[in-house]
């Protein structure tokens, strides 16, 4: 499971002209699912993201989590994070098929909601989405969680 986590001052996702999810200050999480991922992978990644200390404390140091600041969370599924870039044209065969990926995105959202204790805004799985964001910092982190513990 791969995630690109961006600290944002605001973010939204639009489908067919309608905003389906929006947050103020918090985290935009772009999420890619691999065929080997499972519920345990989703739970571990959700826990890790909820504990990331990437928000400033009173001294200006990145020492607070999204939970600490009661920030927003926006999850957008993005199979392109699993692209094989060996050639000039990306191959997306390394990404999980929708019948596996869609339920795991929802499992990740449930685990993130439990870990963070915050409501989660979402994109629409498989839809053509437009994501707008104002990256705060900028702070962008790439995380990968496997069944082996990384």
The separation between CA 33 and the C-alpha centre of its own chain, rounded to angstroms, equals 11
Three-state SS for 145? coil
The verdict on whether 78 is a catalytic residue reads yes
Three-class SS string for 8-66?
A: EEEEEEEECCEEEEEECCEEEEEEECCCCCCHHHHHHHHHHHHHCCCEECCCCCEEECH
Tokens in use for 10?
Answer: 């605001």
Catalytic residue among 6, 41, 43, 79: 79
Catalytic residue among 36, 80, 93, 130: 80
Catalytic residue among 6, 78, 108, 122: 78
Catalytic residue numbers read 78-80
């Amino acid at each position: 499971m791969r995630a690109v986590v961006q600290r944002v001052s605001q973010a939204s996702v639009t489908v067919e002209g309608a905003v389906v999810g929006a947050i103020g200050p918090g985290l935009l999480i772009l999420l890619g699912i691999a065929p080997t991922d499972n519920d345990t992978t989703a739970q571990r990644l959700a826990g890790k993201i909820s504990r990331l200390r990437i928000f400033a404390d009173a001294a200006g140091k990145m020492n607070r989590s999204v939970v600490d600041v009661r920030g927003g969370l926006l999850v957008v599924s993005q199979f392109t994070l699993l692209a094989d870039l060996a050639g000039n044209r990306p191959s997306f065969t390394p990404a999980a098929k929708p019948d596996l990926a869609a339920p795991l995105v929802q499992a990740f959202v449930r685990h993130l909601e439990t870990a963070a204790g915050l409501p989660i805004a979402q994109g629409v799985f498989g839809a053509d989405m437009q994501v707008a964001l104002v990256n705060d910092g900028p702070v962008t982190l790439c995380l990968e969680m496997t069944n082996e513990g990384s």
